[in-house]
Chain A
Amino acid sequence: MSIKILFENIDVDGIDSFEVYRKLGGYNSVEKALKNMSPEDIVEEVKKSGLRGRGGAGFPTGMKWSFIDKAPGKSHYLIYNADESEPGTFKDRHLMQYNPHLLIEGLILSCYAIRSNTSYIYIRGELMYVMRILEKAIEEAYANGFLGKNILGTDFSLDIYCHPGAAAYICGEETGLIESLEGKRGNPRLKPPFPALNGLFGFPTIINNVETLATVPWIINNGGEQYAKIGIGKSTGTKLISACGHINKPGVYEIELGLSVEEFIYSDEYCGGIKNGKKLKAVVAGGSSVPILPAELILKTAKGEPRLLSYESLSEGGFETGTMLGSGGFIVMDEDTSIVKNLLTFTRFYRHESCGQCSPCREGTAWMEKILNRIVEGKGNEKDIDLLMDIANNIEGNTICPLGDAAAWPVQSAIKHFRDEFLIKPEIV
């Protein structure tokens, strides 16, 4: 069994209650931090840990925090990104649902680190039942003096509020999220200015993913250096991988970064192999937006080395022969899967979710969906494939936010690795 940081106590009965959570050492890190550490010390430990954002981009968390404008007299906000909308990703929901106090503990430390006294948890609207779990946990934390005014008798005060969205993938993008939290359409903003200088209500704002901040209590309890010893190279620590598709044991797994993809797919500790004894055909390893890889390339890099679950190994070979760790949404497809039909569902998703501000994204995703529909109906030809590639290439890099790229990459990679399949009419699954 590998080390568990986020899932250590997740199966304990009643862990979602303050009482049980506290009994098992929960909130100890808050006591340690507020009594013996300065905000700068926390940032320093997180920097040392090498922790990288788990929302998809993998940006070093400690570094992000040090960008915040801490001018006195200014409000600072920390937003907890619980929008979890990337197809294939369901790790944050799992954590929030089963271990809500861990998130609150992480949030208190992180707000202290950036000197924020107000934090919003932006949770996708469909997860109302999870929001109620969080709200109950927040209430318990207030009742026990871990939230509110003068926490543990110190001069640090913090309020946390849950804020539901209303179904729009684009509100997971940090500036779309800020717009949405201000009560507007979720149209992403042009950057700069970056949120760390000018974010929510025009004040310095940090946005972090649920899993990212849930890691902070362990780092404060055990030290950043200890955390950095786990994992491989610059991919320190553990990562939640949500695995789905044609596998025997779908679910959320906490893995030590550096685990081999082969072990993850085939060992009984994780996915338990391909369903019905079939062969593996392809994997989308980091949520719907990352490039798809055929079995050969997800199990081994083009150089013939075993592919590992780490930021570096998954991107080895660039987009020619590699992919990305992304959000850790691991979608497995067996030998009978139509890559094109699966792609159509992704492209339809991005068309539906495009906020419409940039014409390449708005028009391009609609065209791609139309062409893919034609192809899936068996009415496509070689020219359609070239046209698809051309549209995807013209979206990539030409939009305000990365949703455009996210829509282009699945198309480009599917054509690159599975071109022959675009002219075969798929069966209904």
Chain B
Amino acid sequence: MKFMEPKVSFSEETLKLSEKIISHYPEGRQKSALIPILHLAQAEFGGWLSVEAMDYVAGLLKLKPIEIYEVATFYTMYNLKPTGKCVIEVCRTGPCWLMGAEKIIEHLEKKLGIKAGETTTDGKFTLKVTECLAACGNSPVIQIGEKYYVNMDVEKADNLIQNLNEGMRV
């Protein structure tokens, strides 16, 4: 049988990092590295997990592709379709809701002209609602990438999007 070249692959550096992660688990338990390595894959392959990306990870970890799909569909952090350049996640659970999260979500939907879960037509922003981010003492909270923006209100959220938008124009 002829071996098929994967359509995507990790950079040298990411490959090294994955090997290090795999070494954290006992021999034969490389499946444990799946969740951390899917995070690497999502970051390296444009912010989402295509079937090709998941199949590549399957090859890397010597797992069946279905084992990757099962996991990728279970955890909320994995995007299974392309997202905007900037993914805005607004927390909507009780404590954030008490402090006005709903108004922020409504405002951002209006401002961006999309509903939560959608991406703007120019591909800049994806708006998502998310559940408690363990920062309820500074609610409402918005997460963008690894960064938390805290003590938000409509005006601050508005400015935040404005700044990000301008930053992306370059």
Interface residues of A (CB under 8 A from B): 75, 84-90, 92-93, 120, 124-129, 161, 163-169, 180-186, 201, 242-246, 250-252, 284, 288, 329, 331, 333, 337, 341-342, 345-346, 348-349, 352-353, 355, 428-429
Contacts and interface: CB of A to CB of B under 8 A. Distances in A.
Interface stretch (B109-117, B132-140, B159-167): B132-140
A251 B134 contact: no
A429 B24 contact: no
A189 B71 CA distance: 16
Contact of A90 (B67, B92, B100, B137): B137
B94 A288 contact: yes
B117 to A, nearest CB: 13
Contacts of B132: 85-88, 288, 349
B93 A125 contact: no
A201 B92 CA distance: 36
Contacts of A329: 136
Interface stretch (B8-16, B34-42, B80-88): B34-42
A205 B36 CA distance: 21
Nearest to A164: B36
A181 B35 CA distance: 8
Contact of A346 (B32, B93, B135, B138): B93
B147 interface: yes
Given A166-B76, A428-B103, A346 B70 contact: no
A212 B148 CA distance: 26
B137 A242 contact: yes
Contacts, number: 145
For chain B, give the interface size range.
35 or more
Give the residue among B32, B98, B134 with the most A Cβ atoms within 10 A: B134
Nearest to A128: B146
Question: Which 10 A-B pairs have CB atoms at the shortest separation, nearest pair first?
Answer: A166-B75, A183-B31, A183-B34, A167-B76, A87-B132, A244-B136, A250-B137, A185-B74, A166-B77, A167-B77
Nearest to A245: B98
Contact of A185 (B26, B29, B71, B94): B71
B94 A251 contact: no
A186 to B, nearest CB: 7
Nearest to B106: A428
B25 to A, nearest CB: 8
A111 B26 CA distance: 18
B131 interface: yes
B88 to A, nearest CB: 14
A429 B102 contact: yes
B50 interface: no
B143 interface: yes
B103 A181 contact: no
B93 A288 contact: yes
B26 A168 contact: no
B78 interface: yes
Nearest to A166: B75
A87 B91 CA distance: 11
A125 B77 contact: yes
A183 B33 contact: yes
Contact of B93 (A87, A252, A333): A87
A341 B132 CA distance: 16
Contacts of A75: 26
A298 B77 CA distance: 36
A246 B136 contact: no
B75 A125 contact: yes
A345 B24 contact: no
Contacts of A167: 75-77, 130
Q: Which of B39, B70, B103, B136 has the most CB of A within 10 A?
A: B136
B97 interface: yes
A75 to B, nearest CB: 8
A87 B99 CA distance: 14
Please indicate which of the listed interface residues B26, B34, B75 has the most CB atoms of chain A within 10 Å of its own CB: B75
B95 A180 contact: no
B70 A185 contact: yes
A352 to B, nearest CB: 6
A178 to B, nearest CB: 10
Contacts of A288: 93-94, 132
B94 A87 contact: yes
13 contacts: A87-B93, A124-B134, A169-B131, A182-B29, A183-B35, A183-B71, A250-B138, A250-B139, A331-B94, A337-B98, A345-B94, A348-B92, A429-B103
A180 B99 CA distance: 33
B137 A244 contact: yes
